[in-house]
Structure formats: C-alpha cells, structure tokens
Amino acid sequence: MSRKNQTLGEFIIENQAAFKYSSGELSKLINAIRLAAKVVNHEVNKAGLVDILGAAGDTNIQGESQQKLDVLANEKFIHTLANREIVCGIASEEEDDFIQINSADNNHQNKYVVLIDPLDGSSNIDVNVSVGTIFSIYRRVTPIGTPVTLEDFLQPGRKQVAAGYIIYGTSTMLVYTTGHGVNGFTLNPAIGTFYLSHPDMQFPETGKIYSVNEGNYIHFPEGVKQYIKYCQREEEDRPYTSRYIGSLVSDFHRNMIKGGIYIYPKSSANQNGKLRLLYECNPMAFLAEQAGGKASNGFTPILDVQPEELHQRVPFFCGSRKMVEKAEEFMRNHSD
C-alpha cells in the first residue's frame, strides 16, 4: 500500500510485484533514471554559476541548436544507463542513431530499451524557466542474446512498459507510470532522496487552461483555429485561460494538476507537427491515459500510431479528456 512520504526506493520495492515483468530489472532501470536525474538536477541548479549556459555550437539530428545543458544531460543519462548494464539499447533525441549497449559478460542478455529526451524545453534554460527530462521504456522485440535493431525502438506507444518525466523547477519531481496509475515523487535536496508527494495523479475531467503557441495561429489548421476561438468565447464556463510555457514537461505537469489541454498541431511551417513521437508524445500519452486524460494527433490516439522512423514528428493534443475530445470534434468538422 503506497503512502505519502514513502521514498521512491521503498515504493519501487513495494510495488515490484505489480509490474508486468517482475524480474527486478525494470526496478533497477527506474533506479538508474533516478540517479541520473539527481545528477542533472545538480547541474541545472548551478547553471548560472558555471559555464554551462548558452549554445554548445552544434545542432542535433532535428537541425536544432544544442544548448550546453542539452549535451551534458544527454551524456549523463547515457553514461548512467549504460554503466548499470540493465539496458540493451538507448535512443536519444540528441543522437542521430540508436546506441547498442553490451558488456563482455552478459552477451546482449538485457531486455529493455530506453528512449529519452534528456532536456526538454532547453530553449528556456538561459532564462531560468522550468525544464525537464522525458523517458520511455520498452521490452525489446528481437531475440535476447542478439544486438538490438531499429525494430526494438519502433514500437507503438501501447507497448511501453514504463514512462515518465523529471521536472526541474521550484522543486524537482520525478513522475512515472508502469501501467498502474501515475505517481509523483519530490526530491528533498538536503538528503538527495525522492519522496512520494503526489500519489495516484489524475487529470481533472475538464479544465480551464489551453496551452498552445498562439504566435503560430496563422499557420494552424482550421480546426485548431476554431477550437482556439471556442476557448476564447464568452460562455457560461468560458473563456478559458491561455497558459503556454514552451516546455512540454512544464505545460503537461501544470495541466495534469489543474486541468487543461496542450496542443502542438501541424502547421504550414511544420507539416508533420514539431514534437517527436518516440521521445515526447508516446511517453506523455501513456502518462495521460494512466491519469485519466487523453492524447491524440487530432484524430487517432497517439499510442496507436505505428512509428516509422526514429525521429518521427506528429501533431499532439493532450490533456483533460473532455477538452481533448472537444478539440478532436473541431478537427473532424474542419478537416482539410
């Protein structure tokens, strides 16, 4: 029975039997992510004191300018996961291709692959706005004992065995699911321990917040434009409040607690949307559904989308169930 102020370690041990696969490896993997999160949290919190702010001078596979903390977070998570010898492969938003992990003594015996966005919202780093890490875990589908292949990473979101995020904000929280609800753990920085602070997190059925970059309004599909007008209309339960941080983790976290919808649609500038299916949308969609919310591309549940490439982008509608359903109604009625 989980209880508030239980440590993350205690929670993992107590709930291990509820995991679909209870060999202990998934528990070790969550613990490795916890360790890497504490290291990155330490670096993020001293970002203004040492020379890790600003651009690194490189671009990632998406053609986006990498920040110094992007590179650091990527290195820390890959190093921690690889050294624990509990994953057989890692795919990162910051890497061109997936990484095969093997050690001389286990001969590709590990069962899990991890997909990760090491530092979501990194454009906000220099202005001290909350950023985060997003992770997604699958069991490999290729035979154990062989090197992982692309097939192990291109699995639909419904195949996830765990997913979550770490938000580095006024407090640092690790929020995750293994398919049995969503729980949030807050870091006590004095002793470096995560404690259960938000058990059984749930999206309100509806809310009053819509999160979308309205600066791109002119480029949006007609269905999104009409939904935004609906949100702004003076009615009994409206207008809604516009809140957009520009960090998916931060916007999602607020909306899950207060009730709201996050939208990053396709546009004339980004025909396939901008968010990555494997590193951002699938893990957040898994969390949303486990918390009673909903996530889609405007027409189809995100978790049912079959990935076709490692860095695939998709439109994303995610949040309180009734709000997402209303947005989908507008998309259907004004489909191009």
Asked if 183 and 332 touch (Cβ cutoff 8 Å), the reply is no
- 251 has binding-site annotation: no
- 120 has binding-site annotation: yes
- 280 has binding-site annotation: yes
Single-letter amino acid, residue 185: F
- 274 has binding-site annotation: yes
- 94 has binding-site annotation: no
- 85 has binding-site annotation: no
- 26 has binding-site annotation: no
- 250 has binding-site annotation: no
Parallel, antiparallel or unpaired: strands 99-100 and 112-120: unpaired
- 51 has binding-site annotation: no
- Looking only at Cα atoms, what is the longest distance across the chain? 66
Residue written as token pair 């916007």? 251
- 121 has binding-site annotation: yes
- 213 has binding-site annotation: yes
Closest CA to 224 of 331, 152, 140, 119: 331
Neighbour-count burial for 66-84, b at 16+ CB within 10 Å, e otherwise: bbbbbbbbbebbbebbbeb
Q: Return binding residues for Mg(2+).
A: 93, 117, 119-120, 280
Q: Return binding residues.
A: 93, 117, 119-123, 213, 244, 274, 280
Q: Return binding residues for substrate.
A: 120-123, 213, 244, 274
